[in-house]
Amino acid sequence: TDRKKLHTALVGQVFRLRPFHVLVATGGGYAGYRKYEDYKLEQLEKRGIEVPVRLASEWEVALYKSVPTRLLSRAWGRLNQVELPTWLRKPVYSLYIWTFGVNMKEAAVEDLHHYRNLSEFFRRKLKPQARPVCCVHSVISPSDGKILNFGQVKNCEVEQVKGVTYSLESFLGPRISTEEMHFSQAPPRNSFQQQLVTKEGNELYHCVIYLAPGDYHCFHSPTDWTVSHRRHFPGSLMSVNPGVARWIKELFCHNERVVLTGDWKHGFFSLTAVGATNVGSIRIYFDQDLHTNSPSYSKGSYNDFSFISNNNKEGIPMRKGEHLGEFNLGSTIVLIFEAPKDFKFNLKAGQKIHFGEALGSL
């Protein structure tokens, strides 16, 4: 009888479990498994062994997206704001420095007791001489990070890592009206990619930079340009590390992101800050109306803001190297821009790069 009562109680407990709890537990376990798989792939890459591409199926992506990463990211953000006791700051930050290989000699303030909470430590400023801005080349790296991919955009597809692509139009969203562009428009073209190219003889190029947790978290203007429009896509906050980027097609189109578009001397130019797990907060210094990682959003929606119609038709002029925005923890920057056919990147896939170093030039 006692055994029967115990069995009945256990069954009752199982049936009282809510689907949400089961989904979170299953999704969280699967996310942990994926992290382990990513670690194994990184070890193979370090040994020079080429890793074959295996894309996630629809059910795997759905399972991963079931993890409440937006909620967890908001919780992480609040935890980061908690002021640490003075005696606890050095041990906590030292552990982080050791784990992610942070170079505190570059920080404007090296004393760990100066940073009241994790958020201040993540957003630490650098010494002025730590990142000299290249004056010779026309496009510089907007941040510290790892080069995931770069090159010419082909067939309206952009590579997030080698062999895994995403749709240019899905990533940037519908084309912005011609009234919000400073430069003269080229004759109407057929494809979305051709519509972005405004000058005859130009091509469209891209560059993807992954910011690891130990990297400098601010990002800067990669060239002299004018920002005319901001488009904010609410979305998931899945990890964007190279292992996941190799696994999920159109990962950057799933995640929350802020797309800044405008023009430079050669035509169209855009910089997109892509959010990730624990990186729900994306801040653009000149855009006080931007609020990311809201508790609710409509799937597939986006919000537009014009700096021309709301800023005396001038847009926001940015100088090369000027402070532009910041992440919490780490994420990804994607540059998509128009340039003449003789534009050349000075990069290698997988290389580490620092803010201010050359990406390419004519």
Domain limits, the chain: 139-174+190-361
The predicted structure's pLDDT at residue 311: 65
The predicted structure's pLDDT at residue 276: 81
How many other CB atoms sit within 10 Å of the CB of residue 177?
10
Number of residues that make up the chain: 362
pTM over 0.85: no
Longest distance between any two alpha carbons in the chain, whole Å: 85
The predicted structure's pLDDT at residue 201: 87
Active-site residue flag, 144: yes
Distance CA 123, CA 120 (A): 5
β-partners of residue 263 are 226, 268
Active-site residue flag, 224: no
Distance CA 280, CA 284 (A): 13
- What tens digit of pLDDT does each residue of 101-131 get? 889 999 999 999 999 988 888 888 888 888 8
Query: Which segments in the chain show pLDDT lower than 70?
Result: 1-53, 177-189, 279-280, 311-312
User: Of 324, 277, 295, 289, which Cα lies nearest the Cα of 234?
Assistant: 295
The predicted structure's pLDDT at residue 72: 79
Indicate which residue of 206, 217, 220, 254 is catalytic. Answer: 220
Asked if residue 226 lies in contact with residue 320, where contact means CB atoms within 8 angstroms, the answer is: no
Active-site residue flag, 254: no
Indicate which residue of 73, 119, 143, 144 is catalytic. Answer: 144
